[in-house]
Copies of this chain bind each other. A is one copy, B any other.
Amino acid sequence: MISSDGIRGYNDMIILHLVLEKPSYGYEISKAIKERTEGAYIIKETTLYSAFTRLEKNGCIQSFYGNETNGKRRTYYRITETGREYYREKCREWELTKKVVEKFTA
């Protein structure tokens, strides 16, 4: 499994990548992460929702309510221009981190 420290710092990127594709909400995103990684990474609910709060505070995403009539009301998030830029920056950082870490692998 993936440790939280190993992926830490890329949770934001993962979430932004998904809301970049289309506005989404917590449960859907957590499912998407699980499916796309074939179960290798299952984000904790608390981690995900606290990331939403942080990203909205930073102006990276914007929340709005869905209009579904049944079930609990969902909070959807869409990416902002700030979020797009932040995402690109995180991608560049990832490329650099990859090069750095690779130098110290067996």
Contacts and interface: CB of A to CB of B under 8 A. Distances in A.
Copies in the complex: 2
A2 to B, nearest CB: 6
Interface in A83-106: 87-88, 91, 93-94, 96-101, 103-106
Interface of A, helix, strand, loop or mixed by DSSP: helix
A18 interface: yes
Interface residues of A, number: 32
Nearest to A5: B9
A48 interface: no
Given A14-B104, A18-B104, A40-B100, A94 B9 contact: no
Interface of A: 2-10, 13-14, 17-18, 36-37, 40-41, 87-88, 91, 93-94, 96-101, 103-106
